[in-house]
Amino acid sequence: MKRENHEALTFLGTVMIIYGLIYALLGTLSLTETIMGVLPGHEQKEIIIIILSYTITLISVICGIMSIKGKYKNAKIISIFLAAIGLISLIYTQLAQDMFNSFDCIAIVLSAGIFYLTLLAEKKHVEFLKAQKQKKQKNVKKKKTTKTTTKKEK
């Protein structure tokens, strides 16, 4: 079976995994005050922002793995959840720190891309299964008509 849009999902899944690992690394470095000014709220150790950012990193890695494996339904659900958490984090950071967190925005954009590609892939997969089912039904009908004609000829 050829999977439609699987190459694009694999690419976005790989990007999502790399994004999650970089976000986790930068968040950890910001918490230890090795780097400053990269992620708003981490230097002040605001716990809600930290929890939201590590939740985004974890979910993005999981979403990336599901996209690479071709688990369309799971990737679609996880991408919706990731976009919601990213939006919550983006709004909370804007309200609490009066700063824009571009990493949360990237999470929203990547999860929207994965969601769109999984929708397309699911549609193509359903069409493919319907076509296979119809093909099998035609083959079964041909075999039945061939058997009945050979019996009548005898």
Spatial CA neighbour of 54 closest among 83, 32, 21, 91: 21
The answer, as to whether pTM is greater than 0.95, is no
**Is the pLDDT reported for residue 1 higher than 50?**
no
pLDDT bucket at 145, cuts 50 / 70 / 90: low
**Is the pLDDT reported for residue 149 higher than 60?**
no
Gyration radius (Cα) of the chain, Å: 24
Name, in order, each residue with C-beta under 8 angstroms of 122's C-beta and a sequence gap of 6 or more.
72, 73, 76
Q: What spatial distance separates the first Cα and last Cα of the chain, rounded to whole Å?
A: 41
User: Is the model more confident about 108 or about 153?
Assistant: 108
- Inter-axis angle of helices 47-69 and 102-153, to 10 degrees? 30
pLDDT of 18 reads: 95
User: Is the model more confident about 94 or about 43?
Assistant: 94
- What are 76's two structure tokens? 């679609």
